[in-house]
Amino acid sequence: MALPTILNVPVSYCVLPMVRVLYTVLLYLLIPLVIVRLLWRSRKAPEYRKRWGERFGFVPKIELERKVIWVHSVSVGETLASVPMIKRLQSHYPEALVVVTTMTPTGSARVRSIFGDSIYHVYAPYDLPDALTRFLSRIHPDLLVIMETELWPNMIHHCHRLDIPVIVANARLSERSAKGYQKFSGLTLPMLQKLHCVAAQHCDDGDRFLALGLNETQLSVTGNIKFDVNLDDAIKNKAGELKAQWRGEGQRPIFLAASTHRGEDQIILDGYEEIRAHYPDLLLVLVPRHPERFDEVAQLCLARGLKVVRRSEKVIPTLSDQVLLGDTMGELMLFFGACDLAFVGGSLVPVGGHNLIEPAIWSAPVLSGPHLFNFSEASRLLREAQGMVICEDAEAIAELVVSLLQDKQAAKRMGDAAKSVADNNRGALDKLLGIIEHQLSSH
């Protein structure tokens, strides 16, 4: 059946831009609440009070006559995933300037600590037409690479209008996220049609993008670039030294609970107390996901009568210290190399889980909660290889940790299986760089 028309234009094409207009008006109306939220978050994380101008496109102009590659990574996880890609881009295109934007202070801090002045870094502008116009007129990007699935209708529209190709790299789309996008198909469909390429982690992610309206010619299934992290000798040696320090003369075992969220720390501590009945000298390395929770988690430990030492204090834990609080930024990858067993957070609460691949790269047996929709494919591979076990509660965590500490051969088999998954799934980064090179050469 033919679509009705207005002035010979199908109604569907008249309605879709109007949906984005309504979205934009709503976004402008919400800006006061966004400002209030920044102020609220700045109570515990003062960096949220700074650099507001960047969020509205007031950034330094780029005057250099050189190619500009814009990489957008919303926060820490996406930023860390983008590091190998950015380093390869800098190597392949030494004449180009890489612009890296984030949305959070923690992501910003990681960018600055890793790359320093070798890249141009600012906060990304809010998805407002005036902020985006101002931003784009000042950096003049030749290409935008969006990490994972941080899709903004106006950002993509304005890049399309200026003939700036947009690639969604390492793209993932859970069933839950796909349903959310489907509810706003008036925004989602035209946005997807303006993308040049979606480089999906897995065929399931790709199928969900296609179901939302992405054209097959826009889709490439490249794999997960988080498998392509390489451990150099420097970090291996540093991890070995750290592990020796934490073990001490008594060779105490080390259990790492990484990237925990509110509600998970209590479960981990409950499990830890059960484990201590069998291994009283076990060192728990507890690393909250967000810096503003460091003090809160320290108080949780102290309230249980546990002796806590903080990583930021730069002291070596003694045998009388039960918990080492990982209250620094940028050291988690190192911690995975210094532990015997690793639990990855965001999975006992419905956050969707965090990076399961990092402990696997270090041959660490991987423990996780059941909420893994952000890492569904990696978790499937690790479970099938028997390199990871899902634990529903504190009792299950304690039972598994005790079992693996008692059976070192079983722990080694589990760690080796996790490492084999990491090794066997490399190659996504080369495929992604091929897509980027094609867009840059043809633009």
Catalytic site residues? 78
Amino acid at 60: P
- What would you report as the CA-atom Rg of the chain, rounded to the nearest whole angstrom? 23
Report the greatest alpha carbon distance in the chain: 82
Cα separation of 47 and 437, whole Å?
A: 35
Handedness of CA 353, 358, 361, 364 (dihedral sign): negative
Specify which residues 436 forms β-bridges with: none
Burial label for 249, CB within 10 Å (0-12, 13-18, 19+), is exposed
Partner residues linked to 72 by β-bridges: 101, 146
Q: Are 75 and 43 in contact (CB under 8 A)?
A: no
Burial of 284 (C-beta count, 10 Å sphere; 0-12/13-18/19+) = buried
Provide the pairing of β-strand 166-171 with 283-288.
unpaired
Q: What angle in degrees, to the nearest 10, is found between the helix axes of 376-384 and 203-211?
A: 150
Which tokens belong to 227? Answer: 């498998």
Confirm if 179 and 5 have CB atoms less than 8 A apart. Answer: no
Task: Please list, in sequence order, all residues whose beta carbon lies within 8 angstroms of the beta carbon of residue 3, skipping any fewer than 6 positions away.
Answer: 10, 11, 12
Half-sphere exposure of 37 (CA within 13 A, CB side): 6
217 Cβ contact list (under 8 Å, min separation 6): none
Q: How many CA atoms lie within 13 A of 314 on its CB side?
A: 0
Q: For tokens 């509810």, what's the residue? A: 183
**Residue-by-residue DSSP string for 125-194:** PPS-HHHHHHHHHHH--SEEEEESS---HHHHHHHHHTT--EEEEEE---HHHHHHHHHTHHHHHHHHHT
Residue 286 CA to residue 31 CA, distance in Å, equals: 36
